Amino acid sequence: DAKTTQPPSMDCAEGRAANLPCNHSTISGNEYVYWYRQIHSQGPQYIIHGLKNNETNEMASLIITEDRKSSTLILPHATLRDTAVYYCNVSPPGAVYGGATNKLIFGTGTLLAVQP
């Protein structure tokens, strides 16, 4: 199973961009990078995922390096409500492998504290 490494905590000023890094140097060719966040005591919330191209949605942008060994999640204008633990995961596409299970492997994540 591919492992991910994230800094344990980061601070960001409200209104500024938050850039959260993740290292996934053992990622396999068909594994996707997924980002989730978890606000205290709630279930993880899906943010974004990608394979090799950069992705953007209404919540965030995902930048994946060309060698796919690391990625950065960007929250363009952080608000206090973005304070949460952010998890980076790699997951095989079960549909591609037929019976493979696309289990998410969570580390301890990055606690992002947005400061007023």
Q: Which residues bind other proteins (CB under 8 A)?
A: 34, 36, 41-46, 49, 87, 92-97, 99-109
- Adjacency order of strands within the sheet including 70-75: 18-23, 70-75, 61-64, 55-56
In the bound state with other proteins, the residue whose beta carbon lies nearer, of 34 and 82, is 34
* Pair of tokens at residue 24: 């996934």
Q: How far is the CB of 110 from other proteins (least distance, A)?
A: 11
Task: Give SS3 for 113.
Answer: strand
In the bound state with other proteins, the residue whose beta carbon lies nearer, of 18 and 34, is 34
In the bound state with other proteins, the residue whose beta carbon lies nearer, of 98 and 116, is 98
The residues facing 88 across adjacent strands are 35
